[in-house]
Amino acid sequence: MPKYRKGLFLYNGNAGNNNIEQNLKLTLPVLAQAIKELTVIQTASEEEAQESCRTFAKDIDILIILGGDGTVNACINSLAPLEKRPAVAILPGGTSNDFSRMLGIPQQLEQAAYAIVRGEPTAIDIGKTGEKYFLNFWGIGLVADTSQNIDDDQKRSFGVFSYIMSTLRTVSQTEPFPYEITTGEQTYTGEAVMVIVLNGKFLGTRELPVPTIDPSDGKFDVLIVKDSTIATFRELLSMNNPNTEQSQLSDLEHFQTDKLTVAADHPKSVDMDGEITGSTPAEIEVLPGHIQLIQAPAFS
């Protein structure tokens, strides 16, 4: 008996993926066995993907997205304001696929499809700032500058390595900026090269060594990175050690909160889930358990 009554399968026809026919062959037959009525739509733009999500949301039980973090972000932004939201499954079809990694989804497509069929919907927090939503992270400084410095030709040719190359270019150009962050409990001020508000723990395919990150706990993990040196990197790695205390960190600051306001000395471009969207100042809040995402079983 099918697990879901109605589903929508969305994929980006303009993603520049020469293997799209093979990708569909690997995934659709597996997914179709679990969904009684499955509609497949090829989209030509993020706007078309968003419109499809809004049109079908009230009538489907599950939305399956074959795409990268940008396509996932576009779909989450179209679903989040709706009263009725289907469960969402992510097939890794982009460069980083960071939140699919957070959900334990295998990065090989056929295995990912089986994991989705065997997995279960899990209530996941999302972030909101203004009228925009994010699933994985919100950031300013180095993370946003890196996104803006990515060469599109390198991204097509080298995939995730294009992020590494962009980071190397950007680090040498990054200057610290004054910031002020206000939560319900405290105000943080100083200079930083990056402020990042985390709901997920993968960034550019790399897992951050911050063990408190949990996308279902109703809290963000906020990292203030004060410098882009080897010492800072070592401090970040040390956060995986349960004996590391906040007082031992000099180049990093870490705290958890469900709401914050971030300002800088001048407007800073904001990166949300890999997309440059808006600028500071910004008010950011958690929407606890706002959307159901399919999480892979422990052994998929």
Tell the residue number behind the tokens 């800073």, with chain if given: 268
> Residues with Cβ < 8 Å from 198, sequence gap 6 or more?
136, 137, 208, 210, 213, 220, 221, 222, 223
Q: How far is CA 38 from CA 29, 59, 79, 89, 116, in A?
A: 11, 12, 19, 14, 14
Per the CB < 8 A criterion, the answer to whether 63 and 291 are in contact is: no
Cα angle 19, 25, 29 (rounded to 5 degrees) comes to: 155
Tell me how far apart the alpha carbons of residues 132 and 74 are, in angstroms, rounded to a whole number: 10
Tell me how far apart the alpha carbons of residues 187 and 297 are, in angstroms, rounded to a whole number: 40
Tell me how far apart the alpha carbons of residues 76 and 125 are, in angstroms, rounded to a whole number: 12
> Residues with Cβ < 8 Å from 157, sequence gap 6 or more?
none
Catalytic residue at 275?
A: yes
Residue 171: CB atoms within 10 A of its CB come to 14
Tell me how far apart the alpha carbons of residues 87 and 85 are, in angstroms, rounded to a whole number: 7
Residue 295: CB atoms within 10 A of its CB come to 21
Residue tagged active-site, from 37, 180, 253, 275: 275
Which helix H or strand E contains 55, and what residues bound it?
helix 46-56
What is the set of active-site residues? 275
